[in-house]
Amino acid sequence: MPPLHDEIFHKALSSDVRREILLSLSKKEKYLSELSEEIKKKPQTVDFHVNVLQEIGLIEGEWREGKKYYALKDKKILEFIQEGKTVPPHLRHKPPHEIVADSMKELTKRMERIEKKIDALSKK
């Protein structure tokens, strides 16, 4: 069974609508009604799929002039879509439990450094 984040990416990219959105955004950034018109889907449908793509970090949105423009975060994802390649590791988001574990490791390292400094100061 693949790791959870791989499964999420593969499920996300198995949707024809999401693939169409990514391919559309490969040309240039667009706002919701432009995407909807280009891929010939209802704005509500496109909005749902755009939110999924944003949630997993493949696209980003930015408000300008009262419209939210969407853009690809990294065009390398297009290789996956066009050539059937695997998702590049740097595009995979860690699941929450791994983020927490990494944060705890970093916090532990920092605490150990602080303790060493305190010990060194108390010996003076």
pLDDT of residue 2: 39
**Confidence (pLDDT) at 85:** 56
CATH class as words, domain 4-89: mainly alpha
SS3 letters across 37-99? HHHCCCHHHHHHHHHHHHHCCCEEEEEECCEEEEEECCCCHHHHHHHCCCCCHHHCCCCHHHH
Which tokens sit at 109?
């390292």
Where are the chain's structural domains?
A: 4-89, 94-124
pTM, to two decimals: 0.60
> Of 39-43, 44-48, 85-89, 113-117, which gets the smallest average pLDDT?
85-89
- CA separation for the pair 4, 70 (Å, rounded): 26
pLDDT value at position 4?
A: 47
**pLDDT tens across 64-117, in order?**
989 999 999 877 777 767 766 555 555 555 666 777 788 888 899 999 999 999
